[in-house]
């Protein structure tokens, strides 16, 4: 069964497997959750394997652009949101 997540930029087989493991089965679910909530699920499930690049990749997937082409302001906002709270 092919997932429509694979049609999104930045999402490959490894990301697809991880997304499915945290209950994100399709692009509609990813859109509904948003990049940050999806990233938090992934980071909780795979703390050593998931980095900020995954957050950028998810945001890029939702914006239909490669994660490396996100505007710098977007990357900075995502990075700030992902910082652990003390």
Domain ranges of the chain: 4-82
For helices 72-82 and 35-45, what crossing angle results, to 10°? 50
What does each of the 86 residues of the chain score in pLDDT, given as a tens digit?
A: 568 999 999 999 999 999 999 999 999 999 999 999 999 999 999 999 999 999 999 999 999 999 999 998 999 999 999 988 76
The domain 4-82 is placed in CATH, from the list 2.60.120.260, 1.10.150.20, 3.40.50.720, 1.10.3720.10, at: 1.10.150.20
Which residues, in sequence order, are CB contacts of 7 under 8 Å at separation 6+? 27
pLDDT one-digit tens code per residue, 49-67: 999 999 999 999 999 999 9
The token pair at 37 is 């909530």
Name the pTM for this structure.
Answer: 0.93
Cα separation, 36 vs 13, in Å, equals 20
């Amino acid at each position: 069964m092919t997932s429509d997540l694979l049609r999104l930029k930045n999402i490959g087989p490894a990301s697809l497997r991880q997304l499915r493991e945290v209950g994100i089965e399709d692009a509609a679910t990813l859109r509904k959750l948003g990049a940050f909530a999806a990233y938090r699920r992934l980071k909780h499930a795979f703390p050593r394997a998931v980095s900020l690049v995954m957050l950028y990749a998810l945001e890029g997937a939702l914006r239909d652009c490669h994660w490396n082409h996100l505007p710098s302001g977007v990357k900075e906002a995502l990075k700030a949101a992902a910082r652990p709270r003390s």
